[in-house]
Amino acid sequence: MTVSGAKNAVLPIMAACLLSDEPSIIDNVPHVTDVVTMMEILRRLGAFGALSGDRLTITPGRFQGTVAPYDLVSRMRASICVLGPLLARKGKAQVSMPGGCVIGPRPIDLHLKGLQALGASVAVEHGYLVAEAKQLKGARIHLGGAFGSSVLATGNVLMAATLAPGTTLIEHAACEPEVVDLANFLIQMGARIEGHGGPLIRVEGVSALHGVTYRIIPDRIEAGTLMIAAAIVGGDLVIDGARAEHLGAVIDKLCEANVQVEKLNGSLRVRATQPVRAVDITTLPFPGFPTDLQAQMMALMAVSQGMSVLTEKVYPERFMHISELSRMGASIAREGASAIVRGVARLSGAPVTAPDLRASAALILAGMAADNQTELGGLEHLERGYHDLERKLVSLGVELERISSNT
Ligand code: EPU
């Protein structure tokens, strides 16, 4: 089966379309509700988006809007990535303050620091972030925070800097493949960017960007979820589109856990013929083990042989799934930013509710390894970021049925 396009790549790239008046065409767009929310944000700003199959055409025209409203930002924090393009094109952006979310506090200080360094003034008024700049100007910016680099702050500064006269140097830039995809999209639009994929990105401002046709990278988190699914049922799965270079830490940990991962041409084959061994995992910014696979890996460790420690170094509060996994018989104790998992011989199917997107996938994987039936509620979380996951999992021989949808 084939991995869909990356949700976390397409969202900032959709925002980047605002950097030009000309239409852009984005291919390999996943059918997930976060994309629909971003289309709605662009529509409210005065740009037009049309999705046909997996091709999305965005026509910014001479959009006039500068406000990303509360009802949409509260639905999806990634809405914040219109901040950079709006400032660059309109000299003004009003974006509802995102606040915390179920995976813990999610500050935006690095976004603000970066845009201020480029010359923007920023204030908070009536729950909205109001940023203004008559003219952005290239600058040297250190974007490292208490938890390392920030994916969307790097994206925001990168987008704003493309049209800022002079040179911008982003130090401690995020190195995630989704940042690289955004940079490649911007370069195709005419931006001058070097160093993306590394911690120091250099941007030379240009006066205008043009529309392009661009194909989104495969979703490494979906690919990783499918790899862990194969491991949890002792299956044998070929995942087309999964890129080994985006999944190094995941492949390494699965191999350490006794799961065989074979790199084929353009795909990965995952085979779990031996019992899965417990391994310790620490989430880190790329190329470290991704936080977006921590919950799924916890489901696997719950049925592994031995004891593992899973430590969150990106979102120290991202452990909402522990209580639901425990309801299925998992033995997990939380110690601060770590979870200590004692593998059990089997999980027992139960009604559970997904607290967030990645936890929803973890609970499905746990249900696949459990006896009897597991009924998962909160599917609206799953639909935010996974396209057709249940159909993809059926090829592993499990029975999955969608009874109803909340969206
Ligand atoms: N942080 C700050 N200040 C900031 C921004 C971030 O301290 O101004 C901290 C965060 O609190 C966190 C760390 O920096 O501790 C990294 O957060 P980051 O900014 O990189 O997260 P993000 O850009 O808001 C993206 C993904 C998340 C993913 C993280 C980390 C998108 C749309 N979202 O969020 O994806 O977990 O990077 O890789 O790209 C998901 O898909 O389920 C998801 C949550």
Measure 150 CA to ligand 1 centroid, in angstroms. 6
Q: Which residues pair with 5 in a beta bridge?
A: 218
Q: Is 150 in the pocket of ligand 1 (CB under 6 A)?
A: yes
The Å distance, Cα 305 to ligand 1 centre, comes to: 32
Residue 406 in this model has a pLDDT that exceeds 70: no
Nearest CA residue ID for atom 39, ligand 1: 8
| Closest ligand 1 atom to Cα of 291 | 36
Q: Who contacts 36 (Cβ-Cβ below 8 Å, separation ≥6)?
A: none
CA of 403 to the centre of ligand 1 (A): 32
> Domain residue spans in the chain?
7-206, 220-394
- Quick check: CB of 11 below 6 Å from ligand 1? yes
CB of 109 sitting under 6 A from ligand 1: yes
- Helices 220-232, 294-302: crossing angle, 10 deg rounding: 0
Question: Ligand 1: does its nearest atom lie under 6 Å from the Cβ of 8?
Answer: yes
101 has catalytic annotation = yes
Q: What is the best residue among 147, 282, 313 to mutate for testing ligand 1's pocket, by most ligand atoms within 8 Å of CB?
A: 147
Q: Is residue 224 predicted with pLDDT exceeding 50?
A: yes
Q: Are strands 338-342 and 55-59 parallel, antiparallel or unpaired?
A: unpaired
Give residue 407's pLDDT band: very low, low, confident or very high (50, 70, 90).
very low
Q: What CATH number belongs to 220-394? A: 3.65.10.10
Among candidate residues 348, 314, 311, the one with its CA nearest the CA of residue 331: 348
Write the pLDDT tens digit of every residue in 97-156: 886 667 777 789 999 999 999 999 999 899 899 999 999 999 999 999 999 999 999 999
Distance CA(139)–CA(19), nearest Å, equals: 19
78: Cβ below 6 Å to ligand 1?
A: yes
Ligand 1 atom 5, closest CA: 108
* 231 in contact with ligand 1, CB cutoff 6 A: no
Q: How far is ligand 1, taken at its centre, from the CA of residue 315, in Å? A: 8
Judge if the beta carbon of residue 375 lies within 6 A of ligand 1: no
Q: For 48-87, how does the pLDDT look when each residue is reduced to its tens digit (9 = 90+)?
A: 999 999 999 999 999 999 999 999 998 999 999 999 999 9
Residue 358 CA: nearest ligand 1 atom is 42
Same fold, 7-206 and 220-394: yes
Average pLDDT over residues 244-251: 98
Tell whether ligand 1 has an atom less than 6 A from the beta carbon of residue 145. yes
Of these residues, 17, 81, 101, 255, which one is catalytic?
101
Q: Sheet containing 331-335: give its strands across.
A: 281-283, 307-312, 338-342, 331-335
Q: Please give the structure tokens belonging to residue 10.
A: 């397409």
- Domain 7-206 CATH class label: alpha beta
In tens, the pLDDT along 277-322 reads: 999 999 999 999 999 999 999 999 999 999 999 999 999 999 999 9
Tens of pLDDT, residues 161-213: 999 999 999 999 999 999 999 999 999 999 999 999 999 999 999 999 999 99
User: What residue owns the CA closest to ligand 1's atom 6?
Assistant: 150
In the chain the first and final C-alpha atoms are separated, in Å, by 25
pLDDT in tens, 255-267: 999 999 999 989 9
Rounded Cα distance, 197 and 286, in Å? 10
If one counts every other C-beta atom within 10 angstroms of the C-beta of residue 148, the result is 16
Is residue 405 over pLDDT 60? no
DSSP 336-350: TTEEEEE--S-EE--
Q: Whose CA is nearest to atom 9 of ligand 1?
A: 147
Instruction: Tell me the average pLDDT of the chain.
Output: 95
